[in-house]
Structure 1
Amino acid sequence: MVNVRNPFKRQTSVDATTMPTLEQRLSDEREPEDVKSPLDEKDEALGGVEQHHEIHNPWDHVAAEDLDENGKERAIEGAEDLTTRCISLEDDPEMPIYTFRMFFLGIGLTAFAAVLGQIFYFRPQTVYVSALFLQVISFIIGRAWGAVMPNARRGKIWAFLNPCVFTLKEHVAINIMCSTATASASAISVFAADELYYNIEPNYGVAIFTLMASQLFGYGLAGLTRAFCVFPTWIVYPNLLPQVQLFDALHREKDASAQKKRLKLFWIVFISIFCWEFVPEFIAPTLTGISIFCLAKRDSPWFTRIFGGANGNEGLGLFSICLDWNYVGSGGGALGALFSPITTQISQYSGILLCILIFCAGYAGNLWNAKSFPFLSQQLFFLNGSVYDQTLILNPDFSLNKTALEVYGLPWYSMTNAMYYLGCNLAIGATFTHIGLWYWRPIVNAVKSFKSRSETDPHYQKMLVYREVPMWVYGGIMLSSFAMAMATIYTGHAELPWWALIVAIVLAIFLFPFVCIINAITGFSTEVQQLAQMLGAVVVPGNPQANMYFTLYGVNACGQGIALARDLKLGQYTKLPPIATLIVQVIGTVVGAILQLIIMKDVINAQRPLLLSTQGSNIWSGQQVQSFNSQAVSWGALAKEFYGHGSPYAIIPYCILIGLAVPLPFYVLHRFFPRAGFNTYVTPVTCWCLGNLSVGINSSIFMTVCLGFFSQFYLRKYKATWFRKYNYLCSAALDGGTQLFVFVATFALFGAGGSTVSMPNWALNPATGNYDYWSLRQK
């Protein structure tokens, strides 16, 4: 390996002996005996055992300090156990990062992800190029580059093109860069709606600066709050753990027998699930949801609603058995059975149980005229049950026509869809109180530790050899983004006053710490779009155009900030310097946004009639931009009539205030019963799940519950060695292999390549009815 000096290595040495120990830190952070946070509860669960005097890799034999009194590896209890026993602490500060290969592959895969992601934004099949998929592809290409191309011994040119074997830090940097462009930027939805519905076509300059402003502002937020959103041990980001273990398995100590065994298992599981997914996704769709109840009583509408779920919007999927990992697994999202903490999953499934009870009771009681509409649907309806045509009540400029509204009446939600919005608003309020009650003290202590450079997280201590990004850089990113936003809202005809933009920015700054911390601890992402749309309707009433831009700056900054914070944590786990993480994220964001804008304009110019039509075609569809515009219209033009006092849905906005009180009973109960675990219950997750089953295929719930408890309770507690070595690696293999199949099948079988391949009908692919053999289609 060529010894390439790392420009980001800190030149001053750090004396780790002067830093407080973990035990001293926990003693300082300990809350009063009767008001313990979930972090204290986990620390006590370790039984006072002194932790991690030596560095042990996840694939090593168990360390002596991790043995219980019976000589067996003790359970993996808290965040410190998780991040030191399941993630390697090894680092080589001299490892090359900024190679030509890293930039070439990073920008190339960023372009691939951006173009493909933007094309699929306008397709009927929604496909996302997942981070795990890119991680595997970039590894294969990077290793092939290092093996096939002449190396540094052949001369300076080859030393520049291929300086060494493909390194871990090159791989991480490539993955972070291209992952920023996997999904269409939020500003693209605004531009598409502008061109399709408002006859506004911002020029490329205004559009690019709007993209930069909306994308980069969140990066500044994440950087300024990294003391408590990135550095501490209790900030985990659970969905990163499979990805990090895969990086470790692919790059660290590949000659060790234990590592070879782990890597072999990964590829076996990866290839096996890739092959298996062909069965439930194409050959036998009935395996998506096998229900004994379906076969026993096929003619009951109520059985369909409760136990059906193999088809979209069919039913609630209670006790269905799903053998399709595309639904059982994480699907590339933040919640997954094999990596989400057990406390998150208990909170999630208790919410889903309440959801089933509320949906059934609400429909039976005809809540919000539920029986007039389909049981599960996301559309707007007339009171007679026909689909509502919102263009009937809007003027040509998409402002509200009150005369027409009086004639046609207000639209209605299905009861289950209204419950989804109600649950989302409850979750927003509960998030504020949950973080304030349980994590305010760790947040304060994290800030103090950052200022005094006494943070004891072992991964953070390893990162002290690298130069940190100065606070003024992140502050400069925020200020420059704000300046660009202020300029473009006028030049781009956003119809958003300058003071309304400031309100949106203040909203993002206020929301970010709450939504980022809840995501980092639980893996759950609080949906705050409704709050922004609601506030936008108050600030600039009756204007869908202004509501879109208000939501863009009020919400997108939070999402982008979480993305950077998560990538900074990924860098901390894999020892990628913070400056490198920021640089590759900015490059990926800029390159991806520009390419997405170009693709968007080309598609709209070529396919405008299809994008405006309700049905579209099997190749092009405007469903996502239609949905985005519909939400802007419902909040921007109809907010007062739809959600105001006296309207059927007036309770939905007030649920944000009601949600503030939801965590309080658990706090009080914890005061009286401190060992009962009430402080570990995640009320925002439960609130959000009250409407979680209102859309999509729901047959996977039962299997996900079983797998979650098997992994995060049984294996983690009673089979700690297997859990430490293989659990997260299997999660990465299962999700990665499934996502690769979905990507390939979407082009080869499901119409993205221009033609659809149909599987002949047979017992497990019925020609009529639902896949789980419910003969009734929902009303």
Structure 2
Amino acid sequence: MTEKQELEYDKGLYAEEKAYAGDTLELNEEDEVENSKIEAVRLVVPITDEPSLQAITFRFWVLSLFFGVIGSVITQFYYYRVAVGYFSIYFVNLASYALGTGMAKILPKSQLTIGGYSMSLNPGPFNIKEHCLIGIAVSTASSSAYAIDILSATDLFLNHRINAFGSIVLIITTQCLGYGMAGTLRKYLVYPAEMVWWGNLVQVVFYNAIHNTDEFKTKKMVRGWSYMKYFWIFCGGAFVWEFIPQFLGPMFNFLSWPCWIKPFDMNMWGIFSTLTGGGVLGLSLDWTSIGGATMWLPLASQLCNYGGVILGYWIILPIMWVKNTWEIKKFVYPLTPTLFYGNGSVFHVQDYLNPDYSLNDELYDAGPPATMTPMYALGFFYSFVALAGCVTHVICFHGKDILRNWKMAVGSKDDDIHNKLMKVYPEVPQLWYAAFYLVMLGLSIMVCEVYELQLTWWGMIVAGIIGWILTIPIGAMTAITGFGPGLNVITELICGYMLPGKPIANMTFKCYGYMASYQCMTLLADLKLGIYMKIPPRAMFVSQFWGTLIGGVFNYVTMIAIINSEREVLTSLQGDPAGLWTGASPKVFWGSAQIYGALGPQRMFSTDGDYSFVYYGFLVGAVIPIILWGLSKKWPNVSWEKFNITIIAGGMSAYPNGYITGIVGSIIIAFIWQFWLFRYHKNWWSKYTFILSAALDTGAAFTGLFIFIFLSGGISEKLLVNAPSWWANYIAFDPNYNETANGGYMGIDRCGSTGLWDSGNPYQ
């Protein structure tokens, strides 16, 4: 279908449903309304604006603070939990809408003056722009700052705690350094229409639906329901259902059903367990393991990702496990970031550190060397493939577009319609971004020097340079496909060669280098949402920084509270027998710090060792996109660019970043929505997909929030309620929990044995 034909199709869709052509102007046969060249954007993003609406209001400050605090606490809480949950922005959207409209009705219209700044307590009806800005601030606050990994790892595994002021400055600077970069890169990664940033589209639909904008006033759903009635019905259904996998029967989140055939067989455990093994054919009935993004992310990107998971954990891992490749079975768990000695006993780097936490080379070299598990080493190989593949893929398939968009970004006649509508608002001056970047860089150097994080000032500069160089290709791929690699592995590798024997320096360098890029892309994505929603850029800048401040403070407070109360469980190799708490994330971070920082890549990936192959990942990742590009020239009718080695390698390195759950359900949902419905029932897809995705995600988030506050002792231990013990909710056998144990399985997915094995006892 040509672009003109697609536009004609959209006109017909508008005439039929009066919504998704994205224009509120009156159409006739002679008119041809300008719209985005991206089909999904045309279907859901309006091309109208009301510049008179005020975005930064008293209601914004109050509600963003309130929900930002809640979101940062809950997200940090889930960082240490086995069942991965999240604080849904859709819950914030709903609750802030209710409170915002209530404040608009009851607050006086008097002025509030602080210093030389004055604002009205009630500037009028609660509008869509201030609502969206609240959501952006809260979503920024509601993340677990990457610096928490540094603070958690040093506290848990080195018993070294940085004071509160230094910790908060570390958190905020790592979160904010990338904001200055965004000012320059917005020309290339935000303004072009091709840079969709897919996660924004569902929010655009949601905000317009809840505010009943012109495009949504006449839209009726099934049975004549309004948009919001449809939302609340499915949100309520998800809320009720999620109590089963999240509280009453957590086994439904880890349905390792093939393992039940022979639950005490070591091969079955290693291959089929979703908690400790490859999770082959594992199911999950928890919507948080699937997520609404499977309904609208590009199908090709999702298939590449799931294909990588299947290749890495359903094919390669079982082969290695059965054949005992590199003696993988002697390390007990097939997937673990823990380091070991050659005989399979656990390695403790603390035994070889100097008082300043640097490695004592003589002491270490006098003893047996440490090694890692084979799957952990393969994870680094996959990460190198993903990073090199990202750079080469973007150059080969999108390089010309990025160069061409240079002119588009500075206001050529081909400028995107949404950018044209934004020209009525003053931009954030480049000087603001530059000054902000320099201030954060100075504070970053200060915190490294004052709090003895082992990272030199010149090392901090190198970390920043890496972020600048690699953000363009990674950001372009993320904006276009919805997937992109991180800089966490390449940064720790570079620092490992620069500053060997310094684990804290490696974690700090990794955090600043990686987060500069990640936070830059976060702001870029929000800037694109601001363009879709027509929010003034300066208001967007304020909102992002405000959310970062809130999140940094309350991330830290929550981290301290949890570490103080759950330290023994978080540092345990076996984990929590109740299946609730886990130190997996800080263990992974600390494991990498030992490999690249304390011991160094020179030792761990030496040419005479088993794992020297990891460096070939750069070559593999660089070559495959070139081959695909050559094939695209030979057979241009085949979409070779959709075979994305970066996304495939990202799926292959899914662990240790998370458990291998939800794959089967995600594939089914992706095919239904992105293949069948999108291709053959596009009207239905455009009408229902984004609002249904938001409803299900919100319902699941409501459940997690309710459980946290009222059943898990989130506010007070007096509110702690233990779910009844039954076949879908048991506590594995453990010496410390004999009186409550009701199963001899190693994990809540009923795989593995805590006692006698039918075959292959890993503890012998």
TM-score in terms of structure 2 length: 0.84
2:499 maps to 1:540:
yes
Residues 595 and 757 of structure 1, relative CA distance in 2, 3 Å threshold: closer
CA distance in 2: counterparts of 1:452 and 1:62, whole angstroms: 27
Q: What is the Cα deviation at residue 363 of structure 1?
A: 2.4
For 1:587, which of 517, 532, 546 is the aligned residue?
Answer: 546
For structure 1, list consecutive stretches of 5 or more residues without a partner in the other structure. Answer: 1-42, 66-76, 331-335
Offset from partner CA, 1:68-126 (integer Å, 9 cap, x none)? xxxxxxxxx99611111122223211112222111111122223333444455567776
CA distance in 2: counterparts of 1:523 and 1:651, whole angstroms: 29
Residues 326 and 474 of structure 1, relative CA distance in 2, 3 Å threshold: same
Q: What is the Cα deviation at residue 369 of structure 1?
A: 1.6
For 1:647, which of 609, 622, 629 is the aligned residue?
Answer: 609
CA contact (8 A) 1:246 1:732 kept: yes
Counterpart position of 1:142: 100
2:295 maps to 1:338:
yes
CA distance in 1: counterparts of 2:407 and 2:572, whole angstroms: 56
For 2:638, which of 676, 695, 701 is the aligned residue?
Answer: 676
Residues 504 and 285 of structure 1, relative CA distance in 2, 3 Å threshold: closer
Residues 603 and 693 of structure 1, relative CA distance in 2, 3 Å threshold: closer
Counterpart position of 1:244: 204
| 1:580 counterpart SS class | helix
| 1:737 counterpart SS class | helix
2:380 maps to 1:418:
no
2:592 maps to 1:635:
no
CA distance in 1: counterparts of 2:520 and 2:608, whole angstroms: 38
CA distance in 2: counterparts of 1:454 and 1:475, whole angstroms: 28
| 2:476 counterpart SS class | helix
2:435 maps to 1:476:
yes
Greater mean deviation of Cα atoms: 566-575 or 605-614: 605-614
Letter in 2 for 1:745: I
CA distance in 2: counterparts of 1:477 and 1:264, whole angstroms: 44
2:716 maps to 1:758:
no
Residues 304 and 78 of structure 1, relative CA distance in 2, 3 Å threshold: farther
CA contact (8 A) 2:492 2:597 kept: yes
Counterpart position of 2:700: 738
For structure 2, list consecutive stretches of 5 or more residues without a partner in the other structure. Answer: 24-34, 114-118, 732-741, 755-760
2:122 maps to 1:162:
yes
Residues 696 and 186 of structure 1, relative CA distance in 2, 3 Å threshold: closer
Offset from partner CA, 1:693-749 (integer Å, 9 cap, x none)? 667543421221111011011111111111111111111111121122122223444
Residues 326 and 207 of structure 1, relative CA distance in 2, 3 Å threshold: closer
CA contact (8 A) 2:256 2:279 kept: no
2:60 maps to 1:102:
yes
Counterpart position of 2:91: 133
Residues 63 and 631 of structure 1, relative CA distance in 2, 3 Å threshold: closer
Letter in 2 for 1:354: L
Letter in 1 for 2:50: D
CA distance in 1: counterparts of 2:699 and 2:424, whole angstroms: 36
Greater mean deviation of Cα atoms: 612-621 or 473-482: 612-621
For 1:389, which of 337, 348, 357 is the aligned residue?
Answer: 348
Q: What is the Cα deviation at residue 339 of structure 1?
A: 1.8
RMSD of aligned Cα (Å) = 3.6
| 2:141 counterpart SS class | coil
Counterpart position of 1:18: none
Letter in 2 for 1:741: T
Counterpart position of 2:218: 256
Counterpart position of 1:267: 232
Counterpart position of 2:329: 371
Residues 126 and 337 of structure 1, relative CA distance in 2, 3 Å threshold: closer
Q: What is the Cα deviation at residue 174 of structure 1?
A: 0.7
CA contact (8 A) 1:446 1:455 kept: no
| 1:223 counterpart SS class | helix
Counterpart position of 1:227: 187
Q: What is the Cα deviation at residue 392 of structure 1?
A: 3.0
CA contact (8 A) 1:489 1:495 kept: yes
Q: What is the Cα deviation at residue 368 of structure 1?
A: 2.2
Greater mean deviation of Cα atoms: 404-413 or 121-130: 121-130
CA distance in 2: counterparts of 1:290 and 1:120, whole angstroms: 21
Paired residues for 1:259-658 under 5 Å: 261-288=226-253, 293-294=258-259, 301-306=266-271, 308-309=272-273, 311-318=274-281, 320-329=282-291, 336-355=293-312, 356-373=314-331, 374-406=333-365, 408-597=367-556, 624-639=585-600, 640-658=602-620
Identity between Structure 1 and Structure 2 (%): 27
Q: What is the Cα deviation at residue 314 of structure 1?
A: 4.1
Q: What is the Cα deviation at residue 610 of structure 1?
A: 8.0
| 1:663 counterpart SS class | helix
Counterpart position of 1:692: 654
Offset from partner CA, 1:527-578 (integer Å, 9 cap, x none)? 2211101101111121112212211221111111111011111111111111
CA distance in 1: counterparts of 2:430 and 2:318, whole angstroms: 52
CA contact (8 A) 2:467 2:514 kept: yes
Offset from partner CA, 1:288-341 (integer Å, 9 cap, x none)? 3557745666676545554x34x41244232x44322121225xxxxx311210
| 2:341 counterpart SS class | coil
| 1:234 counterpart SS class | coil
Counterpart position of 2:682: 720
CA contact (8 A) 2:254 2:275 kept: no
Q: Report how many aligned residue pairs link the two structures.
A: 715
CA contact (8 A) 1:751 1:757 kept: no
CA contact (8 A) 1:313 1:695 kept: no
For 1:171, which of 126, 131, 137 is the aligned residue?
Answer: 131
CA contact (8 A) 1:322 1:703 kept: yes
Greater mean deviation of Cα atoms: 321-330 or 102-111: 321-330
Letter in 2 for 1:668: G
| 2:359 counterpart SS class | coil
CA distance in 1: counterparts of 2:267 and 2:157, whole angstroms: 40
CA contact (8 A) 2:295 2:689 kept: yes
Q: What is the Cα deviation at residue 269 of structure 1?
A: 0.9
Letter in 2 for 1:648: D
